[in-house]
Structure 1
Amino acid sequence: MKPLLSPDYRPSETETFMNPMQQEYFRQKLLAWKAELLKESNETLNHLQEESLSEPDIADRASLETDRALELRTRDRERKLISKIDEALLRIEDGTYGYCEETGEPIGIKRLEARPIATLSIEAQERHERMERTHRDD
């Protein structure tokens, strides 16, 4: 059974890390984020269906096509984000949420608040980015 959260609950560093209250807090946070992304996606689809590309002016049509392409790229990034949110929700269910995939150490409440889909601790993420820069510079 999932614990009931008070509306003003915020996880703190003084609690046991990833206790049931924190897990439920992040589960709700992830579900709300996903719902917002899906709502925006549906609004985009409706908007694109209503718009007409039969603008008589070529400059207006080009501008409209550019806007559409940008909007579709944004939605594609959000689609990938929804996939990461779903993965985070699965990690909550299997008990691995909040722990670094590389070290197994806690990621930390502040980092999870800022990026609820994080899979690496700050230190592991920095190492990963340094390695990417090093290989990219080669």
Structure 2
Amino acid sequence: MSKKTTNQKQKTKIVKSLTLREKKIQEIKKRLIAQKDALLSEAEEALNELPGQTIFPDIGDQASAETDRNFMLRLRGREQRLLKKIENAVDRIEHGIFGICEKCGEEIDLKRLDARPVTTMCIDCKTQQEEEEKLKEL
């Protein structure tokens, strides 16, 4: 086999690999947008159901209602952070930088992106970051 034929086969493999990656990234984008829409819909529903500042005759009932309200607001806060991560991931896709580790600059494995599309780091860098955080806690 000639060197030219080998190079052409390698280039074809690279192009196929890129198109598969791009295809998978577009699938991830659709999932992210659907997840964003679902979160927004749930948040709107929850907001409509959130009890106002009602004054209860029994202090125990009032405390219970306040605890429930605070729990719902904390939950909404978590969902807001997830929503921001989703928006950032979609933005990275649109700018062609999705799937690139923000720490080392290498491509993030597609399996990792599929499992956790909002990730911004490859598994090695994320593991290293978590280990450093554990050491800081000691």
TM-score bracket, shorter-length normalisation: 0.7 to 0.9
Q: Measure the CA separation in 2 of the matches of 1:43 and 1:54.
A: 23
Shift of 1:97: 0.5
4+ residue runs over 4 A deviation: none
Distance change (3 Å), C-alpha of 1:130 and 1:17: farther
SS at match of 1:19: helix
SS at match of 1:113: helix
Instruction: State the number of aligned residues.
Output: 123
2:78 matches 1:77: yes
For residues 1-138 of structure 1, what are the structure 2 equivalents within 5 Å? 15-16=17-18, 19-48=21-50, 53-137=54-138
Contact map agreement 1:17 1:106 (CA 8 A) in 2:
no
TM-score, normalised to structure 2, is 0.80
TM-score, normalised to structure 1, is 0.80
Structure with greater Cα Rg: 2
Question: Going by fraction, where is helix more abundant, 1 or 2?
Answer: 2
Taking only the aligned residue pairs, the percentage that are identical comes to: 40
Residue 3 of structure 1 is matched in structure 2 by none
Q: Measure the CA separation in 1 of the matches of 2:22 and 2:110.
A: 14
Q: Deviations over 1:6-64 (max 9, x none)?
A: xxxxxxxx943773322211111110111111111101110115x56233222121111
